Amino acid sequence: MTDRYCVVGHPIGHSKSPQIHAAFATQTQQDIDYQAIEAPLEGFVTTMQAFFAQGGRGANVTVPFKQQAYEWADTLTERARRAGAVNTLVKQSDGSLLGDNTDGAGLVTDLHYHHVALRDKRIMVVGAGGAARGVLLPLLEQEPALLMIVNRTEQKAQQLAAAFGEAGPITSHAVDKPMVAPVDVIINATSASLHQSHPPLPQGAIGPATTVYDMVYQAGCTTSNQWAQRQGAGRCLDGLGMLVEQAAESFAIWRGCRPQTERVREQLREALS
């Protein structure tokens, strides 16, 4: 029998996950059905209960339901607990639902794919919302020299740094405090590019050896990355690879085999341009 999976969100019309998972299934010869489901804003749990009652084996969860999935899951992985959000639900053999979060692993795998060094490097995470929280633990696991959180609303950066204090070398840095030296890697976890904008950064954060990674992706260069290039960033990357890698990680958890991502990356990039 074909195993059923889905991505649930609101809205969900533009989700690329069905296309990505269909490609993974073909490549690995797995017999799965993966659909996009739009749950009503007040109907996440009801929609998911129906999906799993009808034999669903797993689900991806996207905006705005990641926190509800975190609260609803029966058990959580450590990385989901740390993220405070669930993007992957897995039906267990005893019928319970495990909540996991593959977003941070997706980011780290994509950075490795692009040969961006993280160990002993100075990393700046910009933003202090759910997207930022979701990647902090996987980034700290890469053993950076220091991870700095910068946010337009400084208090939120301070709170986030405090919450992860014992997980590694992490601190907050005020936007209006200039940097002594440029950082090695900047992870832009804000939604600024979606608003055709860029986040404010401390003066001197970007240098010619800095890699800037915008978790958003857009046709061509994202708005924030265009700005970062003008500031002299050595290299700019967007979040398309992260999207594919977080999906590959979910697929591997569900199916026990890891798909190759290169061709899917190329297909999505072509479709964007």
Residues near ligand ATR (CB under 6 A) are 127-132, 151-153, 156, 190-192, 195, 197, 199
Catalytic (active site) residue 66? yes
Which residue of the set 66, 121, 156, 177 is catalytic?
Answer: 66
Q: Which is nearer to ligand ATR, 25 or 39 (CB)?
A: 39
Measured in whole angstroms, how far is the alpha carbon of residue 84 from the centre of its chain? 13
Q: Between 17-28 and 240-255, two packed helices, what is the crossing angle to 10 degrees? A: 50
Q: C-beta of 31: minimal distance to ligand ATR in Å?
A: 34
- When the beta carbons of 77 and 224 are compared against ligand ATR, the nearer one is 224
User: Sheet containing 235-238: which strands, arranged edge to edge?
Assistant: 170-172, 146-150, 122-126, 185-188, 211-214, 235-238
Beta-ladder partners of 187: 125, 213
CA distance 199 to 175: 10
Give min distance, CB of 5 to ligand ATR, in A: 23
Nearer to ligand ATR, 77 or 190 (CB): 190
Nearest residue (CB) to ligand ATR, 190 versus 211: 190
> Least distance to ligand ATR from the beta carbon of 67, Å?
9
Q: By Cβ distance, which residue is nearest to ligand ATR?
A: 129
Given a contact cutoff of 8 angstroms between Cβ atoms, the answer to whether 241 and 213 are in contact is: no
Q: How far is the CB of 14 from ligand ATR (least distance, A)?
A: 16
Q: Name residue 105's amino acid.
A: A
Greatest CA separation found in the chain?
A: 60
For residue 26, the minimal CB distance to ligand ATR (Å) is: 31
102, with CB counted inside 10 A (0-12, 13-18, 19+), is buried
Q: What SS3 state is found at 191?
A: coil
Phi, psi of 50 (to 5 degrees): -65, -45
Cβ 190 to ligand ATR shortest distance, Å: 3
How many CB atoms are closer than 10 A to CB 130?
A: 17
Q: Which is nearer to ligand ATR, 17 or 255 (CB)?
A: 17
Task: Closer to ligand ATR by CB, 75 or 197: give it.
Answer: 197
Q: In Å, how far are 3, 76, 178, 237 from 24, measured between CA atoms?
A: 14, 25, 45, 23
Query: Which residues are catalytic, by number?
Result: 66
